[in-house]
Structures are given as C-alpha cells and as structure tokens.
A and B are shown apart, each in its own frame.
Chain A
Amino acid sequence: MATDREYDRGGLKKVSVVSANAALIGGLIGACRDVIAANAEHLSELDRAIGDGDHGTNMRRGLEAVYAERNRLVQLPLPKALEEIGFKLVMNVGGAAGPLYGTLLIEIGRQLAGANGQIEFTRALERAIDAVARRGRASPGDKTLLDVLYPVHAEVVRRAGLAGICEEAERAASLTFGMRAMRGRAAFLGDRSIGHVDPGARSCALLTAAICRFLEEQCPA
C-alpha cells in the first residue's frame, strides 16, 4: 500500500494508516490532550493579546471531550477515528478553532477512507489543509494555523523526519509574530496584530510537536 512506502525513508516509517492500532490512536489522543492541557493558559494568554482570550480554554475543552471517549475511538479504523475526533472538536471547541481543526481531521479521515485507501498520506493531508483554508477563507501569510500546516506538509513531503517536522512547526509558528492578521478577530487590530504569535499557529505547532514526539518514542529511527 502506498502509505507504507511513503514513509520508508522518513521518520514515520513504521506508521501506516492500515496498521494503525488502538495503542497508536490512543497514544496520539493522549499526547495531544496532554500538550494542550499543559499549555492552555499560555494559548489563552496569546489569544488575549490579539483575540478574545479563550483559545486555550476552548482547545482544552475539545481535547478533553475527545480524551473522554478514547476507549471507543481507539476501536475504530484510523480514518473513521480521525473523522469522529474531528466532529468532537467541532462540537466542543467552538470559536473559529473548532471548525478549522475539525475540518482538518474530518477531511484527512475522509480522504484516507475514500479511494479505497489508495491515497498517499501526504496527498490526504494536503487536501485536508486546503479544506481548512476554504473553511476559514484564509491563505498562507494571513497569520493563522495555515502558516504552520502548509510548512509542516512541505516537510512531510520532503521526508524531513520527525525531528525536522517538529522543528519546522515551531519555526513556522514563531514566524507569525511578524505577520499582520487578515482573518478572525485579530484582523480588526490591523497593524497592531503584528508583534504577537498567532494562538492558532501556536497550538498547531504544539500539537504537531506532541505527535512527532509520540511517534518518535513509538518507533525510534
């Protein structure tokens, strides 16, 4: 299957959408929930500067809702689990982040489930990120989580390995510091949004890093 080969030379080599098992799905849910719980206050603080200050609280509520159902979710095939986690986030995160993160996971799940699984993970990820961009009517450079998602996707495509992907996510989130917000409530601030890291980009980098760290522990290179 294409997805197995896709990771042959990357750091994700032992992770395959077909062989994803309960321990993997459960571990990823736990890693994401833990990193958001540990950083919720930090995320809300970033959001207080250029938004309404609830990004951390919203994300924590969403991830806790997913975590509470992990025993059921881990029994599902990976694409279905991703889709259901996405809907959980939509229903529980709220704000703009709920629909955006929700769309990302729902769409990755649907892309993987469609075409009888004959789609490469990188392609599914790309389509899902494009769906997020459409949902938010945002483009790269608008100071949103897209400014982390697209660079992360590029690293996955060039098989940077887990450490490289993780590093790029952090770097990309930091770069939103200098950007002027074009979408969301931060856009009302205009130039005053410059000089703050975007909370959505930050949470996206934190989640990416947590996922990479977890996968590295599971399957060290």
Chain B
Amino acid sequence: MSGMNPKSANVGIVIVSHSPLVAEGAADMVRQMVGDCVPLAWSGGNAEGGLGTHAAGILAAIERAWSDAGVAVFVDLGGAETNSEMAIEMLGEPRSGRVTICDAPLVEGAVMAAAEASGGAALARVVATAEELSP
C-alpha cells in the first residue's frame, strides 16, 4: 500500500485489486510508463494481507493520491468496486464528488488514464479515456 507523489495539480490515480501483487504491479507499470507527475497509490488485499479488498485501505490510498483535480479509481472484481464506493462515501462531501470509479480494465485503464492525467486533463476526460477501452 505505498503512496507516491503526494501533491499535484494533475488528476490522481488509485489502483484497487484483491491481490497486493497485482495492485502494486499495475502501479509500477503506470509509474514506469507515465512518470512521476501523476499522484498514484494502490490498495490490494484484505486487512490481514490476504486476497481481498477493504474500505479502510482504499480510503487511505485515495488520501495518498489525492488531488484537487480529482481521483480516478481502477478496480478488479466486484468487492473491489463495492469497497471503493464505501471508501468514497467515507471521504465525505465535497471531496467524494471528485472521485470516480472507472468502468475499465485495471492495468490498461490505469495506464491510459495516467497518461491522459499527466497532460493536465480534467477528471471527466481522464475517466472517458480509460472507459473507451471497455466495449
């Protein structure tokens, strides 16, 4: 659950997977392909480090990747989405309105979104770019 670049004017990216390895690996790819100019964090696994997702970890990841421009969240399977929704609600208004869960493939979506975000695109544009990947 490593957070990286703390502050940026660019949209932040959060990666949520049931597997810490998948989440960290996807974040590594984003970092390598897009660089340091996008706030990026991941949450993977349950509270005990096993496979799963948990709202507290996701909430912490959103905080680490926070940008006033907003945060795009990428999830793998069902529980990741449900827990992400819960984490966003717990973030509270008005910040919760600036976080979007993307309907996009985890790895490709996060890379495409980060590339778009690194150019200073608005949250809606970043999300749309990632979601174009989903048929």
A and B pair up:
yes
For B85, what are the chain A residues with a Cβ–Cβ distance below 8 Å? Answer: 99, 135
Interface residues contributed by chain B, number (CB under 8 Å): 18
* B90 adjacent to A90 (CB under 8 Å): yes
The distance in angstroms between the C-alpha atoms of A103 and B82, with both chains bound, is: 11
* A96 adjacent to B79 (CB under 8 Å): yes
How many Cβ-Cβ contacts under 8 Å join chain A to chain B?
60
* B79 adjacent to A184 (CB under 8 Å): yes
* B78 adjacent to A98 (CB under 8 Å): no
Chain A binding site: helix, strand, loop or mixed by DSSP? helix
Q: How large is the interface on A (under 10, 10 to 19, 20 to 34, 35 or more residues)?
A: 20 to 34
Question: Nearest Cβ in chain A — how far from B18, in angstroms?
Answer: 8
For A170, what are the chain B residues with a Cβ–Cβ distance below 8 Å? Answer: none
Interface residue B52 (Cβ < 8 Å from any Cβ of A): yes
Contact of B83 among A54, A94, A183, A187 (CB under 8 A): A94
Please choose the segment from B43-51, B65-73, B127-135 that sits at the chain A interface, where 4 or more of its residues have CB less than 8 A away: B43-51
Known pairs A90-B90, A185-B77; A96 contacts B47 (CB<8 A) = no
For B79, what are the chain A residues with a Cβ–Cβ distance below 8 Å? Answer: 95-96, 184-185
For A93, the closest partner residue in chain B by CB is B54
The distance in angstroms between the C-alpha atoms of A90 and B89, with both chains bound, is: 11
Interface residue B53 (Cβ < 8 Å from any Cβ of A): yes
Question: Nearest Cβ in chain A — how far from B58, in angstroms?
Answer: 10
For A185, what are the chain B residues with a Cβ–Cβ distance below 8 Å? Answer: 77-79
Interface residue A33 (Cβ < 8 Å from any Cβ of B): no
